[in-house]
Chains A and B, each alone.
Chain A
Amino acid sequence: MIKILPFIEHAIKKPIWDCRMCGQCVLHSTGMTCPMTCPKTLRNGPCGGVREDGNCEVDPTMQCVWAKAFGRKESLPLPQSWRDHFNDLRPPVDMQLQGTSSWINLITKRDQQVPAGWQRNTRSDHGL
């Protein structure tokens, strides 16, 4: 079961969120919008290149992932506790988790392990 979980997870999350299987899912805190679909894979907000119409600097045919996330954080019926994490400072992606199941990593808390030098006080206060 453990072995096939990544396949099940991908089968569900790929069609809905275009999941890239980073193995450290943050969808709940990003307005259910996957930051790994940003061409620059930015996990802490939009780059400075967002176009006037809100579309992506790199791919003008798609809406900027972070513009979408910012709108959806409010428009989707999400728990307030999820919205409160929108401006958390998210650590660099752990490339060792690529392709693994974020569900398992959540249960084992593997997805919360960060390098020893990463500053810990990264939660945002007052939604800012």
Chain B
Amino acid sequence: MSHLRQLLEDSNEKIFTSEFPTIDGAGMPRVIALAQRFSPWFDAVNATDNPAAHAHASNTSVAIAMKAHGLEPIMQIACRDKNRLAIQADMMGASLHGIENLSLMTGDDVTAGDEPETKRVFDLDSAQAISIANSLNGGKYLSGRAVKPPTNFYIGAVENAAAPPLEYRVQRAVKKHRAGARFLQLQICYHPDRLENFCRGVASAAPQLHLLPTIVLLKGARQLHFMNDKVPGIDVPLNLISRVEKSLDQSEAAYELALEQARHALALPGVRGLHIADFRHDETLARLMHDLGRIPRTISNQLQEQL
């Protein structure tokens, strides 16, 4: 049974997930160094699937490497690049290597990436991909062909609480839950009122669905502008940006904003932890975790053997 499943289903502990940086060469030493950096703080970490429509080392290969180095993977699968055969193959390949946590998503459009001339696939949507993972858990491929023994996926998905149509977002989350999702990693949300309404709505309509809002660690106003202008589905209110922009110490102001967001999110109904995206790559991650009362876990045994 996956550690993440155990923590979310059988404990009340607050859990923390993150995103493994993309791998573009640099080989296993880089994976090992990153695993070392992530394992004290995170219960499980996403192995991404061509994030923002840029090609990188594949989701499955990175998930296998993470696992081998003592970091529990949550394997992302985006519907943008693969048809239903390839997605089921990804899932079965993951299962073969003992990877059980999935995070299934539609994926940013190809126009968000550096090869916008590519063909968009979107043969499945995220709700259908969730349902298919759930069928594999029930011992069947989509075709009905047997999977013996059945897979044991712990199925997650994503949702953007702040994107229009706002009232629809809760219904869509519930639909994903009906299809088989047990947890949702939420897109970063710079509208606390929207996040709150979403979490309250989900907590009352689907109390078993665990929510993990995202907190992003940024260096200052320039990165906030970037999020607002370039990342699909993210709106950063201008007064928030100028609050950081006008402060004497932008880096400190950006940190305070993230800490405020983290505390607010953790207090909302249905929220079981946080998903943390670190774009600062400095000591701020440790500071945030300390300020949230997270005690670093000892480096996992497997990793110690490697050192």
Kindly specify which of A12-20, A21-29, A100-108, A117-125 makes contact with the partner chain.
A117-125
Which of A57, A67, A90 interacts with B232 by CB under 8 Å? A57
Which of B79, B112, B141, B165 interacts with A117 by CB under 8 Å? B141
Q: What is the distance, in angstroms, from B176's C-beta to the closest C-beta of chain A?
A: 9
Q: Is the CB–CB distance between A71 and B126 below 8 Å?
A: no
Q: Is the CB–CB distance between B125 and A40 below 8 Å?
A: yes
Q: What is the distance, in angstroms, from A80's C-beta to the closest C-beta of chain B?
A: 17
Q: Is the CB–CB distance between B128 and A46 below 8 Å?
A: no
Q: Mark A89-128, 1 if CB is under 8 A from B, else 0.
A: 1111100000000000000000000011111001010011
Which of A42, A51, A53, A127 interacts with B125 by CB under 8 Å? A42
CA–CA, A47 to B138, complex, Å? 27
Q: Is the CB–CB distance between A42 and B122 below 8 Å?
A: yes
Q: What is the distance, in angstroms, from B185's C-beta to the closest C-beta of chain A?
A: 11
Q: A42-B106, A54-B165 are contacts. A87–B144 as well, Cβ < 8 Å?
A: no
Q: Is B168 an interface residue (CB 8 A)?
A: yes
Kindly specify which of B31-39, B57-65, B155-163, B269-277 makes contact with the partner chain.
B155-163
Q: Is the CB–CB distance between B128 and A91 below 8 Å?
A: yes
Chain B, interface size category, equals 35 or more
For window 64-86 of A, CB contacts with B under 8 Å fall at 64, 66-67, 70-71
Q: Is the CB–CB distance between B233 and A57 below 8 Å?
A: yes
For window 1-52 of A, CB contacts with B under 8 Å fall at 39-52
Chain A, interface size category, equals 35 or more
Q: Is the CB–CB distance between A67 and B165 below 8 Å?
A: yes
Q: Is A62 an interface residue (CB 8 A)?
A: no
Q: What is the distance, in angstroms, from B259's C-beta to the closest C-beta of chain A?
A: 25
Could you say which residues of chain B place their CB within 8 Å of the CB of A115?
A: 142-144
Could you say which residues of chain A place their CB within 8 Å of the CB of B109?
A: 39-40, 49, 57-58
Question: Which secondary structure dominates where chain A touches chain B?
Answer: loop
Q: Is B205 an interface residue (CB 8 A)?
A: yes
Q: What is the distance, in angstroms, from A90's C-beta to the closest C-beta of chain B?
A: 8
CA–CA, A70 to B167, complex, Å? 9
Q: Is B114 an interface residue (CB 8 A)?
A: no
CA–CA, A118 to B135, complex, Å? 7
Q: A45-B172, A46-B172, A49-B232 are contacts. A70–B159 as well, Cβ < 8 Å?
A: no
Q: Mark B179-216, 1 if CB is under 8 A from A, else 0.
A: 11000000100000000000000000100000000000
Q: Is the CB–CB distance between A45 and B175 below 8 Å?
A: yes
Q: Is the CB–CB distance between B140 and A66 below 8 Å?
A: no
Q: Is the CB–CB distance between B120 and A44 below 8 Å?
A: no
Could you say which residues of chain B place their CB within 8 Å of the CB of A92?
A: 84, 123-124, 128, 142
Could you say which residues of chain A place their CB within 8 Å of the CB of B105?
A: 48
Q: Is the CB–CB distance between B233 and A89 below 8 Å?
A: no
Which of B106, B126, B171 interacts with A87 by CB under 8 Å? B171
Apart from A46-B168, A57-B112, A87-B171, what 15 extra A-B contacts exist at CB < 8 Å? A40-B122, A41-B122, A46-B163, A48-B105, A48-B159, A48-B163, A48-B232, A49-B160, A54-B164, A57-B108, A57-B233, A64-B165, A117-B142, A117-B145, A118-B142
6 A–B contacts from the bound complex (CB under 8 Å): A47-B233, A50-B165, A50-B233, A64-B164, A116-B143, A119-B138
